[in-house]
Amino acid sequence: MDFKQTALGLEFGSTRIKAVLIDKDNKPIAQGSHEWENQYVNGVWTYSMDAIISGLQSCFKDLKKDVKEKFGESLTEVGAMGISGMMHGYLPLDKDGKPLSEFRTWRNTITGPAAAELTDLFKFNIPQRWSIAHLYQAILNGEEHLPRLATLTTLAGYIHLRLTGKNVLGIGEASGVFPIDSQKPVYDAAMLDKFDSLISPKGFPWKIRDVLPALLMAGKNAGCLTEDGAKLLDPAGDLKPGIPFCPPEGDAGTGMTATNSVAVRTGNVSAGTSDFAMIVVDHALGVHREIDMVTTPSGLPVAMVHCNNCTSDINAWVNLFAEFAGLIGADVNKGDLYVKLFQKALEGDKDCGGLLSFNYFSGEGVTDLDEGRPVFARMENAKMNLANFMRTHLLSALATLKIGLDILTKEENVPIDKLYGHGGYFKTPGVGQRMLSAAVGSPVSVMETAGEGGPYGMALLAGYMLWAEEDQNLETYLNDVVFADAKSSTLMADEADIQGFQQFLARYQKALPMEKAAIACL
């Protein structure tokens, strides 16, 4: 096997770090993974630096094992690779590249005052999870590390820096660090100036331009694996330095890439621990707290509805059912259990029979909640059965997303002709697809590679840098080369499913004060 004709994508997801190796036909040929979970420490959702590095190494080791089993060879090189990660959050570094605080993930809702003030200053929505909101909140809080700040980056940017020595970000990832002027495309100069004026009384020894990583478009070379980087990624010493890297991206950009949704008027929904919809738009939008304006990996403007909570509550209940199965002596494979429970949801009443759940493990910006409490509730005469129970949790996972999408479709007249779904929510064929179609009232397509998700998209971006023809843009490359013969299934929910979701959502929105009460009381 000529591994120089392969591309590797490695993504830091919320519950799993995963590597996908593709061949020149853009087909996955090997994988590796490492499961992990965020920690809630001193009021902050975080992953320790030790967990980040050990997880990186464990994932790559698992990939090497898969390669060895399939090809009988050690993985010593690839043609190109790239790093992606859960978007945004806060990772400040000093001049030596050392973290100045704990990594603060996208899940945190602790930057409300900063996000609101910056949104008003910029006349541009700044979500709480964006890096600039975290930085300004740290300034408002008077955090002691700020005078030593040299670089503000993301998890993907940090790993890329450790492996290549280059402080850069792909433009899609960078668009959640600081707003982008998509016409240029660069960081928005007027907003940079406004931010510097805002913080000038603090007397910091840096300007905002000094601490932001350089921007790179998809397809550009973003450095090469250094000797130290090779030793960090592969302590066993098999991997050779010199491998070229594409720009590091966020999981939203890799999701768009993995579903061929980077052209204007295309869209996708990524649904896993969090869920978000990305619609590439063709006209300017107004400022909405619920809508983020980011970019594709090639710099096109994207309207994003991001929800912090999606499948975590489903996972918790599946774990409970697995524990019960063990109690009665049933030997149940967890993957099979997911499939059976998801399929059971199709038998439920379209409106869930009077059951209701809020899946908020953490705060949720779309519904203006800074904290979360998972809640399950039912009417006294509700139809309490397994099918309705599972359907309730599947619809709850999409409810907040639907609230945000309604702003796009009803207030901003953004058409959604068709959506592509990817992520764990869609792994059971036909189920998540039908639920999302019921929510948006449009057809939903799932590609056969949908389960690969972000790391596959990152591998495609590495392959784009490696194999695309000169001047071939990303949209054309994906459409004409990668997905020309791609297999996908398209499903449109029936009218009863759509009406049932609307009835469930009306009950959900009416009961939001109950979720707020749970936050106050628990």
Whether residue 440 lies inside any domain: the answer is: yes
Q: Would you give the end-to-end CA distance of the chain in angstroms?
A: 57
Of 242, 259, 276, the residue that ends a domain is 259
Q: By C-alpha distance, which of 299, 302, 288, 149 is closest to 213?
A: 149
Q: Which amino acid is at 199?
A: I
User: Quick one: 254 and 370 in the same domain?
Assistant: no
Q: Checking DSSP bridges between strand 301-307 and strand 292-295, what pairing results, if any?
A: antiparallel
User: Quick one: 231 and 317 in the same domain?
Assistant: no
Whether residue 303 lies inside any domain: the answer is: no
Of 221, 241, 259, the residue that ends a domain is 259
User: Quick one: 139 and 16 in the same domain?
Assistant: yes
User: Quick one: 125 and 234 in the same domain?
Assistant: yes
Whether residue 86 lies inside any domain: the answer is: yes
Q: How far apart are CA 100 and CA 462, in angstroms?
A: 30
Are residues 209 and 181 in contact, defined by beta-carbon separation less than 8 angstroms? no
User: Quick one: 238 and 317 in the same domain?
Assistant: no
- In 3-state terms, what secondary structure has residue 340? helix
User: Quick one: 513 and 397 in the same domain?
Assistant: yes
Determine the pLDDT at residue 185. Answer: 87
Whether residue 306 lies inside any domain: the answer is: no
Helix (H) or strand (E) holding 211: helix 208-211
User: Quick one: 241 and 316 in the same domain?
Assistant: no
Supply the mean pLDDT for the chain: 94
Q: How far apart are CA 78 and CA 32, in angstroms?
A: 15
Structure tokens at 62: 């698992």
**Quick one: how far is CA 423 from the chain centroid?**
10
Task: State the average pLDDT over residues 319-324.
Answer: 96
Q: How far apart are CA 48 and CA 43, in angstroms?
A: 14
Whether residue 480 lies inside any domain: the answer is: no
Determine the pLDDT at residue 315. Answer: 96
Q: How far apart are CA 106 and CA 290, in angstroms?
A: 15
Whether residue 90 lies inside any domain: the answer is: yes
- Tell me which of 93 and 287 has the higher pLDDT: 93
Q: For position 25, which CATH number holds?
A: 3.30.420.40
pLDDT band at 452 (very low <50, low <70, confident <90, very high): low
Its pTM stands at 0.84
Determine the pLDDT at residue 88. Answer: 87
Taking residue 93's Cβ as centre, other Cβ atoms within 10 Å add up to: 21
User: Quick one: 177 and 81 in the same domain?
Assistant: yes
Whether residue 420 lies inside any domain: the answer is: yes
Whether residue 119 lies inside any domain: the answer is: yes
User: Quick one: 333 and 252 in the same domain?
Assistant: no
**Quick one: how far is CA 105 from the chain centroid?**
11
User: Quick one: 442 and 503 in the same domain?
Assistant: yes
Helix (H) or strand (E) holding 192: helix 189-199
Domain containing 126: what range? 3-259
What Cα–Cα distance (Å) separates residue 341 from each residue in 234, 263, 492? 39, 35, 21
Report the number of distinct structural domains present in the chain.
Answer: 2
User: Quick one: 238 and 324 in the same domain?
Assistant: no
Of 259, 280, 304, the residue that ends a domain is 259
Least confident of 16-25, 192-201, 413-422, 484-493: 413-422
Residue 370, burial from CB neighbour count under 10 angstroms (0-12, 13-18, 19+): middle
Residue 417 has pLDDT above 90, yes or no: no
User: Quick one: 125 and 189 in the same domain?
Assistant: yes
High-pLDDT (> 70) share of the chain, %: 99
